[in-house]
Amino acid sequence: MNARSHEEYKDNIGAYVLDALPELEAELLERHLAGCESCRAEVEQLRPVPAAIARSVPQVEPPPSLKANLMATVNAEAGAREVEAREERRRERRSFGSWIAGLKPRVAVALALGVLALGVVVGVAADKIAGGGGPAGTTVAAKIDRKQMPTGQASLVVKGNTGELELSDAPQPPSGRVYQLWYQHGKTIERGGTFRPRSDGSYDVDLPVAGANAVLVTVEQAGGAPAPTGPPVMQFTV
Amino acid sequence: MALVQRGDARAFEAIYDRHGAAAFSLAYRIAGNRAAAEDIVQEAFLSVWRSSVRYQAQRGNLRSWLLSVVHNRAIDWLRRSLTHTRHEIEVDGIEERKAAPEFTDVEALRRDEARTIRSAMEGLPSDQLRVVELAYFGGFTHSQIAEMLGMPLGTVKGRMRLALDKMRDGLGEAVA
């Protein structure tokens, strides 16, 4: 890394504020800026120009789906934070040994398994399960309820304790609703996260599948539900 | 913004309502297609929501800061893109934004401001405007621009600097 003169750094200031310096050059200049008041002052003087250029572009109406997708994720995450906070409070209460506080989740799980079992019994138009093992993992295709999800494909590649969920051409859930993941461990079910596919219908995420014998996806209100409220849109038998 | 950083979804929605169109317009101008612009804006706003990028009030107003977040994401997208070629934006079919009634005055001021800035840009010598546009909207580095235009790197740096100085002087309070 060659030492540079003050003038050489100064010559790079224009490119720097336009974000047109390669990363390494930008880092070198930033180190110089830390100790050079006059260069810092020049950067501060020029910085508002790119901000103005950003405001010069012709205004284009964004599609309504942008806000809908964004807010679905934001509301889901805000809801999940609330659920997490509630669960934290519940755990604190349990630590006092309240038997009743411990009973409620088990009731919810029993109800949830009832709803999911009903979904399977009343007729999930299932795609075939395709399996394939080997060092790349075991690929599990989804059983998809085509009434709820008429298009799209989904697969889960299980590698040790992780499952790589991949969706393509999946439809967006209805407005105000999201897909929610669930992990079934024998007779208990564990709540997972929520998601919406990207605008092209794709989505991928790594799931903690250790000990789970099935991964399920349902459609829930934005923010997610503490227990499934309807039959699964898709399910993977791990 | 403090409310957003504390996880208030309604406050976040208000920020999107106020600045989402400007963000989308900038992403669209850089990416050249609506689907990519949508992904860029979504990523940018989610990074703000998840507090992975922090607003620093002393570095300028909220709108400028949000647009700089969108700009960074859009340039990352361009540089990741395998087909990083100069694209032309199809002007046909671009729907100029219709001002929402509640923001009519604000919108009018913003349009005036955008016109003033565009006119300052158009007032630059064409060789200076070219390097600024290739850098800011094209996501090219100074050395890539020098190579594309077949000119010494020092010339590109000089033109960038001259253009920025002229715009700074020409716009005065508009960029203050």
Same domain, B52 and B138: no
- Tell me if B98 is assigned to some domain: no
Residue A237 contacts residue A205 (beta carbons within 8 Å): no
* Domains in chain B, number: 2
CB contact (8 A) between residue B60 and residue A81: no
- Tell me if B29 is assigned to some domain: yes
Residue range B25-49: mean pLDDT, rounded = 93
Same domain, B84 and B159: no
Same domain, B77 and B121: no
CB contact (8 A) between residue A52 and residue B9: no
Give B132's contacts in chain A (Cβ within 8 Å): 18, 53
In whole angstroms, give the CA distance from residue A200 to residue A166.
Answer: 13
User: B105 vs chain A: nearest CA distance in angstroms?
Assistant: 15
A19-50: pLDDT as tens digits: 999 989 999 999 999 999 999 999 999 999 99
The CATH code of the domain that includes B146 is 1.10.10.10
Q: Decide if pLDDT at B82 tops 60.
A: no
- Which pair of tokens denotes residue A132? 């394939």
The mean pLDDT of chain B is: 82
Last residue of a domain, one of B72, B92, B112: B92
The CATH code of the domain that includes B62 is 1.10.1740.10
Q: Decide if pLDDT at B176 tops 70.
A: no
In whole angstroms, give the CA distance from residue B120 to residue B132.
Answer: 13
A167-217: pLDDT as tens digits: 888 888 887 778 888 888 877 778 888 888 887 788 888 888 888 888 999
- Tell me if B99 is assigned to some domain: no
Same domain, B114 and B63: no
B9-29: pLDDT as tens digits: 888 999 999 999 999 999 999
Same domain, B79 and B112: no
CB contact (8 A) between residue B164 and residue A46: yes
Same domain, B116 and B87: no
Confidence class for position A1, pLDDT limits 50, 70, 90: very low
> Among B171, B50, B55, which Cα is nearest to B116's?
B171
Partners of residue A182 on adjacent β-strands:
A191, A216
CB contact (8 A) between residue B38 and residue A63: yes
- Which pair of tokens denotes residue A32? 């110089």
Return the HEC string of chain B.
CHHHHCCCHHHHHHHHHHHHHHHHHHHHHHHCCHHHHHHHHHHHHHHHHCCCCCCCHHHCCHHHHHHHHHHHHHHHHHHHCCCCCCCCCCCCCCCECCCCHHHHHHHHHHHHHHHHHHHHHHCCCHHHHHHHHHHHCCCCCHHHHHHHHCCCHHHHHHHHHHHHHHHHHHHHHHHC
CB contact (8 A) between residue B117 and residue A53: yes
Same domain, B174 and B110: yes
| B42-56, B112-126, B147-161: segment of lowest average pLDDT | B42-56
Residues of the domain holding B82: 1-92
- Tell me if B97 is assigned to some domain: no
Q: Which residue from A18, A55, A77 is facing B135, i.e. has the nearest CB?
A: A18
What are the residue boundaries of the structural domains of chain A, listed by start?
Answer: 6-54, 66-237
- The identity of residue A103, as a single letter, is L
Q: What is the pLDDT of residue B168?
A: 92
For residue A198, what are the CA distances in angstroms to A42, A204, A207, B35, B38?
A: 41, 9, 18, 10, 10
Residue range B70-93: mean pLDDT, rounded = 66
Regarding predicted confidence, which is higher, A82 or B59?
A82
- Tell me if B148 is assigned to some domain: yes
> Among A32, A31, A39, which Cα is nearest to A10's?
A39
- The identity of residue A18, as a single letter, is L
A101-132: pLDDT as tens digits: 443 444 445 555 555 554 443 334 334 333 44
Confidence class for position B102, pLDDT limits 50, 70, 90: very low
- Tell me if B43 is assigned to some domain: yes
The mean pLDDT of chain A is: 79
| Cβ neighbours of residue A149 closer than 8 Å, sequence gap 6 or more | A170, A171, A233, A234
Same domain, B54 and B131: no
In whole angstroms, give the CA distance from residue A167 to residue A196.
Answer: 11
Q: What is the pTM of this model?
A: 0.58
| A91-100, A147-156, B133-142: segment of lowest average pLDDT | A91-100
- Which pair of tokens denotes residue A173? 């859930």
Same domain, B73 and B109: no
Q: What is the pLDDT of residue B132?
A: 95
Other C-beta atoms closer than 10 Å to the C-beta of B132 total 25
Q: What is the pLDDT of residue A98?
A: 47
Same domain, B70 and B6: yes
CB contact (8 A) between residue A59 and residue B114: yes
Q: CA of B135: which chain A residue's CA is closest? A: A20
| A194-198, B63-67, B94-98, B116-120: segment of lowest average pLDDT | B94-98
Q: Which residue from A45, A60, A66 is facing B94, i.e. has the nearest CB?
A: A60
Q: What residues in chain A have their Cβ under 8 A from chain B's Cβ atoms?
A: 11-15, 17-22, 45-63, 65-67, 69-71, 73-75, 77-78, 81, 198-200
For this complex, say whether ipTM is above 0.90: no
Mutate to test the interface with B, among A28, A56, A172, A202 (most CBs of B within 10 A): A56
| A29-38, B79-88, B167-176: segment of lowest average pLDDT | B79-88
- Tell me if B112 is assigned to some domain: yes
Same domain, B108 and B162: yes
User: A58 vs chain B: nearest CA distance in angstroms?
Assistant: 7
Q: Which residue from B23, B118, B165 is facing A56, i.e. has the nearest CB?
A: B118
